[in-house]
Amino acid sequence: MGKLFLIIIIGVTVVTAVARPWIGIVSYYMLALLGPQYIWPWVFEEIRVSLFVAVSAVVGAIITLLKGRCDLSFMNNRQNKILLMLFSFVLLSYFAGAYVNLEHALYDPSRLIGMSSKIILFYLCAVLMINDIVKIKCFYLVLVATTIFLIFWANIQYLSQNWNQFNGGRLMGPHAQGSIYGDENAFGMLFVTGLPFIYFLGTRVREKWLRYALWAVLPLGCHAVFLTGSRGALLGMGSTILINVLRSKNRLLPLTFLLVLALFFQWQGGSVMKTRSSTIASYEGESSAESRLTAWTAGLKMVRDHPLTGVGIGSFMTALPNYSDAKPLIAHNTLVQYLAESGLGAGLCYLLLAFNYLKNSFAVQKRLADAPPDRTNAELSTIANACSTSFFGLFVCSMFLTLNYYEIYFYLLILGNSVTTVVMSAYDPKPELSTASCVGEG
């Protein structure tokens, strides 16, 4: 019965996605971020739902583009140019990287370059289709719904004492093959990026009961981070709260939440999280930063020897024995991973993307502050705040985790791109930059 219901939903979604590609985009990211196929694998089994939805959305986007119904200003901007440059360096490292085609390669570079190409293609379709306030709000709610559901899922694993879901005392996410949450750190990152979305949504809703219901989820989200035992996620969560305190006009609420978080950590942090967090800045010892520093040093040596192409996409672990005596490991740093695998250009592009994203966020806030106050502007301001706070937390975490192909990163890029383009176009005196886009497409 469940499978029949799923097939019906897939059929309706696929047909709708061709006619209304933005619905396919939203549906795909709901599947990618929530991962119902990993939570209920017995229902999905061999059905490749994400593939069907993604293909139909891309087909619909291409048809809409060929009909001339898309506003290309959503694609023709600095963020997308930098991202395409980053992909170019990654592509170059695949064809020219020194360690890509070795027989003893520990990763399959062709699989990674294929995945990168699909991510970029879908990203470009998404930035064209998520192009007005209604679609932006629907896209925003994807991460809200995903985070709330997985917060409860994480806490249920703990309360029901499902210890099979824990690895060395650390909660893993739904970890069927292909899940982005199989690693505890990646699962913790979901909550770091999703909690600001819940918090800022709470500031906008008019009904007090709904606002407090949303904010009541926040402590459970913090507990979910504690359960993952991820030091990177803990740093990311602290940074999102701190940046919110610094940016907020009314600092009482975020400061109160920071105090509650500290008390909650002492009460419910758990022995694993407390032990690991106490060694964040420690160098010596197995549970310390020693392995990361070793990997970072080796990665910098790789880019020194191969500044243009790096050692090749997916080849960090393959090249590592020539630069370190450490056991095979990843860089545990997104910037170092890009530098080592795809060269200086890729690392620079990654930094430029982060700088441009946060710069755009401040520009959007300034533009909205000068615009006539109305409900739409207030909603856009809230979404922009959530995006920049979430992105800042993710960037902080990326200095301690490898997040090169993390779906939430590209989700935030898409949402930030949409908000920036809509706001800057709406209040730009140039008439050719009108926000009207994809007419008749939804």
pLDDT tens string 61-92: 999 999 988 889 899 999 999 999 999 999 99
Helix 375-398, helix 184-204: angle, nearest 10: 160
The answer, yes or no, to whether residue 281 has pLDDT greater than 80, is no
The answer, yes or no, to whether residue 276 has pLDDT greater than 60, is no
* Identity of the residue numbered 224: A
Q: Is the model more confident about 101 or about 120?
A: 120
- CA–CA–CA angle 359, 362, 366 (5° rounding): 140
Q: How far apart are CA 60 and CA 14, in angstroms?
A: 10
Q: Cβ(422)–Cβ(132) under 8 Å?
A: yes
3-state percent breakdown (helix, strand, coil) of the chain, nearest 5: 75, 0, 25
Residue 104 in tokens: 């003893």
3-class state of residue 167 by DSSP = strand
Q: How far apart are CA 171 and CA 188, in angstroms?
A: 9
| Residue of 120, 134, 117, 116 lying closest to 26 (CA atoms) | 134
CA 98: distance to chain centroid?
30
Measured CA to CA in angstroms, residue 145 lies from 37, 298, 342, 380 at distances of 16, 40, 35, 19
Residue percentage of the chain with pLDDT more than 90: 47
Q: For 270, left (φ over 0), alpha (ψ -120 to 50), or beta?
A: left
Residue 265 in tokens: 């950590």
The answer, yes or no, to whether residue 29 has pLDDT greater than 70, is yes
Confidence (pLDDT) at 235? 85
CA 395: distance to chain centroid?
10
Confidence (pLDDT) at 156? 94
Confidence (pLDDT) at 60? 94
pTM over 0.85: yes
Residue percentage of the chain with pLDDT more than 70: 83
Of these ranges, 28-42, 135-149, 422-436, the one predicted with the greatest mean pLDDT is 135-149
| Residue of 315, 303, 305, 298 lying closest to 101 (CA atoms) | 315
Measured CA to CA in angstroms, residue 421 lies from 130, 136, 412, 428 at distances of 10, 11, 14, 10
Confidence (pLDDT) at 50? 86
The answer, yes or no, to whether residue 280 has pLDDT greater than 60, is no
Q: What is the pLDDT of residues 95-119, one digit of tens each?
A: 999 888 765 556 678 888 888 999 9
Confidence (pLDDT) at 266? 60
Q: Cβ(416)–Cβ(410) under 8 Å?
A: no
The answer, yes or no, to whether residue 442 has pLDDT greater than 80, is no
Chain mean pLDDT for the chain = 84
Residue 392 in tokens: 């800042």
Residue owning tokens 């994480």: 154
